[in-house]
Amino acid sequence: MTAMLYTPIPATIDRVDNETPTIKTFGIRPREPMAFAAGQFVELTVPGIGEAPFTPSSSPRIAERMEITIIKTGRVTDCLHDLAAGAEVGVRGPYGRAYPLDDFKGKKILLAGGAIAGNGWLGALSGAGLWLLLVVVVIVLRNTTPRLRIDQAVKFFWGPVSAVAAVAVVLALIGW
């Protein structure tokens, strides 16, 4: 039992998509199907190098193949970015608590998420674009769904979130 828990399942990278110069999405096909739920993560092993945790970015309905979007940031991820389709890796898991999606059924939900973006001007533009999109979504919701108590959310987004977004845009412009 313990051995299974810590032994990676051999897997093949069947596709690599370049998202930005530092971000790639890897299609990974484990030798045995690996069912996971939204919100869980897996440990991805580069043989002889090491392993790191990643959250699949593909549908949890598909257990035969998963996609993982990875930013190049250090030892394991640098090696992963050097791999091409056909390379062998290992995957174990899933781990972590899944999102309680059933609890959300029939309820109104407000989604707020973080993201990774490109460096420099591209990152700044996408950051500013996402921020504007968020503000527009909140305004539209405010005007089309009067029962929704989001006036405080609007105040929050125009206040602290705008300040943080402005700082993020400046940092992205100077290459952070």
8 Å CB contact between 87 and 24: no
Is 28 a binder of ligand FAD (CB under 6 A)?
no
Task: Pick the binder of ligand FAD from 74, 129, 159, 160 (CB under 6 A).
Answer: 74
Handedness of CA 96, 46, 10, 55 (dihedral sign): positive
Is 21 a binder of ligand FAD (CB under 6 A)?
no
User: Hey, what amino acid is at 165?
Assistant: A
User: Interacting stretch for ligand FAD, rule CB under 6 A, among 8-16, 74-82, 135-143, 146-154?
Assistant: 74-82
Is 41 a binder of ligand FAD (CB under 6 A)?
yes
Task: Pick the binder of ligand FAD from 70, 138, 150, 172 (CB under 6 A).
Answer: 70
User: Interacting stretch for ligand FAD, rule CB under 6 A, among 26-34, 48-56, 122-130, 136-144?
Assistant: 48-56
Taking CA 3 as the corner, what is the angle to CA 38 and CA 31, rounded to the nearest 5 degrees?
55
Contacts of 32 (CB under 8 A, 6+ apart): 9
Pair of tokens at residue 48? 């002889």
Give whichever of 68 and 89 is closer to ligand FAD, judged by the CB atom: 68
Identify which of 37, 21, 26 has the alpha carbon closest to the alpha carbon of residue 119: 21
Is 91 a binder of ligand FAD (CB under 6 A)?
no
Interaction site with ligand FAD (CB under 6 A): 41, 52-55, 68-71, 73-77
